[in-house]
Amino acid sequence: WYDLALNRPGQGVRAEADSQLAAMRDQSRVGAFLKRAFDVTTPERAFRVGADGEEAVGARLDRLTKHGGRVLHSIPVGKGKSDIDHLVINQGGVYPVNTKRHPDGKVWFGEKAILVNGQKTDYLRNSRYEAERVRKAMLKNLGMDVPVKPVLVFLTGTVLPQVTIKQMPPDVLILDRMDVPGAFRRAPERMSL
């Protein structure tokens, strides 16, 4: 038994970034230093950028506890290194939150697709899959079917995000960092805690 409430935001991704950095340093300390100094695209950088985003969103989500909500971070899924970035539980339901950090990225989304810098992503499919896993786990372990809605939070690192909204997907909530935690506090009551 392990208390998930002890997990910190970005914990799993940060551990992977540290592991990748150690591997880079084992190959070449100077090479690792130069890659980080010039922000070269490496697996370590990708994990580090992701961890930074999860930590930033996690800190904002933790404010929900003042309003009676519950927030869990870095929830392991399956036997691999996958995890659910954050899980919000409040009067509006259960929200698996997936953080996507794309510094200076251009994001376009419609009902059926999300593009980042013109490249199609699997973000909608993955978010829906995570939400269904959470719903099934709640049903299996608690014996009740609770409202679960997947959430994607985009961090572009710009004051005015370059986001084009063609059409909002009806089953996935897409937010900017400034929408967090307000969007969860404003959610209509669909369950009691």
Task: Render pLDDT for 133-191 as a digit per residue (tens, 0 to 9).
Answer: 999 999 998 888 888 999 999 998 777 778 888 999 999 999 988 899 999 999 988 87
Asked if the model's pLDDT at residue 40 lies above 90, the reply is no
∠ Cα 108 73 81 (to 5°) = 80
Q: Please give the residue that has the higher pLDDT: either 153 or 32.
A: 153
The structure's pTM equals: 0.89
Q: Please give the residue that has the higher pLDDT: either 141 or 2.
A: 141
CB 95 within 8 A of CB 147: no
pLDDT at 139: 92
CB 109 within 8 A of CB 75: no
CB 169 within 8 A of CB 114: no
Rounded distance between C-alpha atoms, residue 172 and residue 77, angstroms = 20
pLDDT band at 77 (very low <50, low <70, confident <90, very high): confident
Q: Is 97 helix (H, G, I), strand (E, B) or coil?
A: strand
Q: Please give the residue that has the higher pLDDT: either 151 or 103.
A: 151
Query: What torsion, rounded to 10 degrees, do the Cα atoms 33, 34, 39, 45 define?
Result: -40
Residues 6+ apart with CB under 8 A from 11: 73, 74
Mean pLDDT of 16-39: 88
Strands 106-109 and 173-176: what pairing?
unpaired
pLDDT band at 95 (very low <50, low <70, confident <90, very high): very high
